[in-house]
Chains A and B, each alone.
Chain A
Amino acid sequence: MNNDMRSYLESTARERVERLFDAGSFVEFLPPSSRVISPHLGQLDAPVAFDDGVVVGRATLGGQNVFAAAQEGGFMGGAVGEVHGAKLVGLLRRAAAEKIPAVVLLLETGGVRLHEANAGLIAVSEVMRAVLDARAAGVAVVTLAGGSNGVFGGMGIVARCTNAIVMSEEGRLAMSGPEVIETASGVEEFDSRDRALVWRTTGGKHRYLLGDCQAIVADSVVQFRAAAIEAIAACRSRSTALGLAELEQEHAMLGERIVRFGAMSDPLEIWAALGIEEPATIPMLDAAQFVAAASAHRMGGC
């Protein structure tokens, strides 16, 4: 297959890392040969992975030094356990200490790994603080979300603590999964089998229109690579750290979102209210057509 055509969605975490960063540049920290596995899964007779479902290391991207992490959706849905979370925290703390220009997080995860519930919850909050500490140290932290498991749970919060998010249409970003909501609140609240509704609600196009992601690309590794390079450059052209002005702006945007869209029940209504002429056609557009139709109407993200 031509390298340009390779699907990001269908690639494994290791394939993404190999293909997205400069050829041959990725060097893994605590590689599988280190045999650092979850200390908890064995007690539950659950399978373990020698990387605990996340690949972390350094690489170059367009010639620039970066750190990278890629979650493997094929292992427990990319969920965060004690070791998995600690690898992310270690990577981010080291990036801050070494003043690495950027960290690229290739997230694909259901959030906290329920088999290690308490440790996973604390770990996700440690990742969140490590992201913000890295940003304060001048590191640009960029999230890529294009895996089939989406970015859910606490990691959906972590993603929104990074400087920028790049998504594909197939990528999903949310907090509670549709199945969780259906189980807790009933099928009339959220029908998890209504795939079109699930995509409209959590998918990349809706997130782009709301201003929750900064770029949307076609499902290809090459496009994610180009968008990551662009996002890092954009982040580094201003302060990577949190600031009062940025948060005031975000506060206003999130407040306006509730006022304008809070009474609506389907993303189609939101898209129409944003001025999209034929909202029903949005799911059919490819990434380039979509950006052409949507970029003038989207809410400003930060």
Chain B
Amino acid sequence: MDWQTLADALFPRGHSLSEIDHFLSGIAQSGEQTIAVVGTTGHAPIGVEIALAQARFVLQTVREHAGKHPRPPILMLVDTAGQRLRHRDEMLGINSYMAHLGKCVELARREGHKVIALVYDQALSGGFITSGLMADACYALPDATIRVMGLPAMARITKVPEQRLVELATSNPVFAPGPENYLRMGGVQDIWRGDLAAQLEQALATTPAGDVRSRLGQERGGRNFTQRVIEAIMAGSDVLAP
């Protein structure tokens, strides 16, 4: 989905989003609330510049509202093909730019801004870790592509035949791309169908406190070990709960 169509569906009461070189930002109205919106478009590879541009917007939002109430929620709109695969980005320390973006989002959360993410097209590996996966809750559209890599590439690297991976993917969400699998594993809170504006308002009203993904993954049966391992370590137990 292109970002204009998406923005019109999410913000029927209006928005002032603008896009420059795949960097999307602006202010929008969701129900009675004014929210800050930041993200990327056109399956943008995340290089140092666009990571820093997103961080700048988040920092600016925090700075402008320091000491004021209410603090506007931040909506991250995710469409990325992953981190940019260039020598230059590595030379400049792209991991530091990604970490910086993640830390700015974390600061915003701690300063009282709710942070919601929506994967409206693609969310691939490195570009997703510091955007959607840093939100209080990450949502996805049903047609979104979410993955680390496709099954053919996974087959090449793991030396497991692709056909076998396809079979396994039907029962184990760990292997296959797609929002439904991330939903089962707790990485995606919910999939939005129908009235997007209403679902955004609802999401802003029900933001979870803390990182609930390991618990969700267990409840939904998509990640059956994470929460038990965490709990065993927290409790000082040498055995996992059954």
**Hey, which bits of chain A sit against chain B, CB under 8 A?**
29-31, 33-34, 36, 39-40, 43-46, 56, 82-83, 85-87, 89-91, 93-94, 97, 112, 114-126, 128-130, 132-133, 136, 153-154, 156-161, 173-176, 178, 180-181, 184-185, 189-190, 201-202, 206-207, 210, 212, 241-244, 247-248, 250-251, 254-255, 257-258, 261-262, 264-267, 270
B242: A residues at CB distance < 8 A: none
Q: Do B172 and A82 touch across chains, with their CB atoms under 8 A apart?
A: no
Interface of B is mostly: helix
Known: A83-B225, A201-B91, A266-B91. 4 other contacts (CB 8 A): A40-B174, A90-B231, A118-B182, A174-B95
**Nearest chain A CB to B156's CB is how many angstroms away?**
10
Q: Do B238 and A31 touch across chains, with their CB atoms under 8 A apart?
A: yes
A153: B residues at CB distance < 8 A: 126
Bound together, the chains give a CA A216 to CA B174 distance in angstroms of: 38
Query: Which of A115, A185, A242, A265 is in CB contact (< 8 Å) with B85?
Result: A185
Q: Do B133 and A39 touch across chains, with their CB atoms under 8 A apart?
A: no
Q: Do A254 and B97 touch across chains, with their CB atoms under 8 A apart?
A: yes
Q: Do A91 and B233 touch across chains, with their CB atoms under 8 A apart?
A: yes
Interface: B217 (CB within 8 A) = yes
For residue B89, which residue of chain A has the nearest CB?
Answer: A175
Interface of A is mostly: helix
Interface: B134 (CB within 8 A) = yes
8 tightest Cβ-Cβ pairs between the two chains A and B: A90-B233, A160-B99, A125-B133, A86-B229, A156-B95, A117-B148, A90-B230, A190-B87
- Tell which of A40, A116, A118, A185 has the most Cβ of chain B within 10 Å: A118
Q: Do A114 and B148 touch across chains, with their CB atoms under 8 A apart?
A: yes
Query: Which of B93, B98, B104, B148 is in CB contact (< 8 Å) with A120?
Result: B148
A122: B residues at CB distance < 8 A: 133, 182, 185-187, 213, 217, 223
Q: Do B85 and A184 touch across chains, with their CB atoms under 8 A apart?
A: yes
Bound together, the chains give a CA A33 to CA B90 distance in angstroms of: 40
Report B15-42 CB contacts with A as 1/0, cut-off 8 Å.
0000000000000000000000000000
For residue A98, which residue of chain B has the nearest CB?
Answer: B234
Query: Which of B107, B214, B230 is in CB contact (< 8 Å) with A247?
Result: B107
Q: Do A247 and B104 touch across chains, with their CB atoms under 8 A apart?
A: yes
Query: Which of B97, B181, B240 is in CB contact (< 8 Å) with A36?
Result: B240
- Known contacts: A36-B229, A242-B110, A258-B52. The answer to whether A181 contacts B99 by CB under 8 A is no
A46: B residues at CB distance < 8 A: 158, 160
Q: Do B62 and A118 touch across chains, with their CB atoms under 8 A apart?
A: no
**Nearest chain A CB to B95's CB is how many angstroms away?**
4
**Nearest chain A CB to B231's CB is how many angstroms away?**
8
- Known contacts: A90-B232, A116-B174, A180-B85. The answer to whether A154 contacts B129 by CB under 8 A is yes
**Nearest chain A CB to B45's CB is how many angstroms away?**
10
Q: Do A254 and B238 touch across chains, with their CB atoms under 8 A apart?
A: no
**Nearest chain B CB to A44's CB is how many angstroms away?**
5
B83: A residues at CB distance < 8 A: 175-176
